[in-house]
Amino acid sequence: MSRLTVFLVLALIFGVSTQTYAQGDENGVGHLRILNRDHANWKQIDDFSVLLDWGFYSEPIDLRFRIGNLPEESKTEFLIFPWSHLDSVQVCDLKEENCVQAGFGHPVDEWLIPGIFPVFPLRKFLEHSSEINVRIQSRNYILSEVRLVSAEELYSITTLYSAIMFSLLAVVIVQIAYLLNSYFRLRSKWILYQILFSFGMALTFLFVSGIASRYLFPGFGFPLSLGKKIMIGYLIISGTLWVSHFLKIRQNFKPIWYFYNAVNCISGILIVLSFTPFPRLFISRSFTILYLAVTGIAIVLSIIAMKRKTIQTRWFVMSMFSLLAIEILNIISYKTYFSFDGKSFLFFMGFFVPINIFLTSRVVRTRIRELEFEIALRRKELENFQNGIMENQSDPSGEKRKSTIIGINVEETLARLNRLLDEDKIYMEEELRISDLAAVLGLSVHQVSELLNQVLNISFPDLLKKYRIEEAKRIIANNPSVNILNLAFSVGFQSKSSFYDSFKKYTGLTPQEFRKTFLPDSDEEPET
């Protein structure tokens, strides 16, 4: 059985299991009625629950409920607000003499019954009247169920919900452990940013579900309406960094790299605004637009990279599509997946989250295999080179000839050289000399020369030309209308003739002929 099948089976089990809690012990519970006459913002779901739908409304909302037909022998009826992000909930008796507060704006330790959502025992409020007053307030979107449950049903809901959240959290932790191991082996930045993204997913599970407030920080009041915005902003920032380094956007799609940097700056500003009275509706919609833009562009760029065969992105495309599907379903089906229907919410989390984790894990695994293959080839070249040194310790006259790179860590030096070339693009400096490169690497000129010629089988001038031509090819592919002469100077060449000769040598085409492959019907204008 494949890993994908395993994840699908687990997701199905999660989805089916969510059907169990809603049965409850309805024969042992009374009925719940809301007495407010205005039906625009609430709906009676059944005899035991009411849906409150006020949208973005930051002012306090006062409601009155009637609790009827409670079994006289039972003392365990509860009023709960499941899966809500309410900052504050206050329940009082009719005379406002006996009041209890909960909600995530208050420390969970101060709740009468600490939990992962607000819970209120009803008997203490119903001694003199069957009616109670409820005041709710939240800066987040108010779409919350108020439900009357028995102790058995409360235990069932809480246990199942916590079990599913902890299971998803465990999957994310396993993924993070795998990524940490990969990072310490390969030291690639994109793996580090993937770790930060996965860490953000774990924090989202903890805070948005209420588990962090209940078990980790019970003495600290942290509104989920604020935590949700911080987590979304964090995921956008870490996600753009991961995508940028994985797809090498700075090298291959520079305008998009600038756009992603702007998105990160805007996300940081929106996170700061979340701590202020700034309208939460604007912040929420802005985050949604940024999320869709970043994810959609990532899909397009990954498809382009896949067609160019510069990187294997099949799993990456599917993972981005899954993230896009999550947000689209969140937008068009908010009241289905994040409302009073807890079964839909748990199924949504139990199905999509494991699927996305599986796909992103496959992305990492595929890329790591590519890197490991490249490293294996480099090690084989190094081994062959070292064997050659041992065989050629003496020249034809019988005198011993000592290698200048014996004693240095060749593998580490090559890794540093690759970072200078791939990430810092040191080859684009027009007057770069081998002595400059030697100084950066902390080696002598002779050591760098031997390293290039004997290990990489390339001279320093040819190395610069090769990388400069590759950079020119990328620029032409992204912007076929670029001026050829300006391009030559921008990638590090000091003359047009040198650029043309090198381009012809490494591609077999002139720059204009290469450009025609991207603009086959365009008429070339003469370059000066």
We report the CATH number of the domain holding residue 230 as 1.20.1070
The answer to whether 36 touches 135, Cβ cutoff 8 Å, is: no
Same domain, 54 and 109: yes
State the SS3 of 281-297: HHHHHHHHHHHHHHHHH
Is 21 within the bounds of a domain? no
Same domain, 231 and 345: yes
The per-residue DSSP string of 475-500 comes to HHHH-TT--HHHHHHHTT-S-HHHHH
Is 6 within the bounds of a domain? no
The H or E element spanning position 231 is helix 224-246
Straight-line distance from the first to the last Cα atom of the chain, in angstroms, rounded to the nearest whole number? 63
Is 481 within the bounds of a domain? yes
**Which amino acid type is present at position 165?**
M
For residues 256 and 298, give the distance between their C-alpha atoms in angstroms, rounded to a whole number.
10
The answer to whether 271 touches 49, Cβ cutoff 8 Å, is: no
Task: Supply 35's token pair.
Answer: 């007495």
For residues 461 and 340, give the distance between their C-alpha atoms in angstroms, rounded to a whole number.
68
- Which of 87, 122, 149 delimits the end of a domain? 149
Could you give the angle at the alpha carbon of 381 between the alpha carbons of 380 and 384, nearest 5°?
85
The answer to whether 136 touches 142, Cβ cutoff 8 Å, is: yes
Is 61 within the bounds of a domain? yes
Q: In the chain, how many domains are there?
A: 3
- Which of 149, 178, 209 delimits the end of a domain? 149
Same domain, 273 and 351: yes
Same domain, 194 and 121: no
The answer to whether 231 touches 199, Cβ cutoff 8 Å, is: no
Query: What pLDDT, on a 0 to 100 scale, did the predictor assign at position 350?
Result: 66
Which residues, at least 6 apart from 469, have a Cβ–Cβ distance to it below 8 Å?
A: 491, 502, 503, 506, 507
Q: Which neighbouring-strand residues pair with 145?
A: 51
Domain range for 302 is 154-373
The low-confidence residues of the chain, meaning pLDDT below 50, are 1-2, 4-6, 8-9, 12-28, 73-75, 336-342, 393-394, 397-401, 522, 524-526, 528
For residues 296 and 318, give the distance between their C-alpha atoms in angstroms, rounded to a whole number.
12
Query: What pLDDT, on a 0 to 100 scale, did the predictor assign at position 259?
Result: 93
Sign of CA dihedral 120, 125, 131, 133: negative
The answer to whether 86 touches 136, Cβ cutoff 8 Å, is: yes
The answer to whether 100 touches 120, Cβ cutoff 8 Å, is: yes
> 89 — alpha (psi -120 to 50), left (phi > 0) or beta?
beta
Same domain, 366 and 466: no
Is 432 within the bounds of a domain? yes
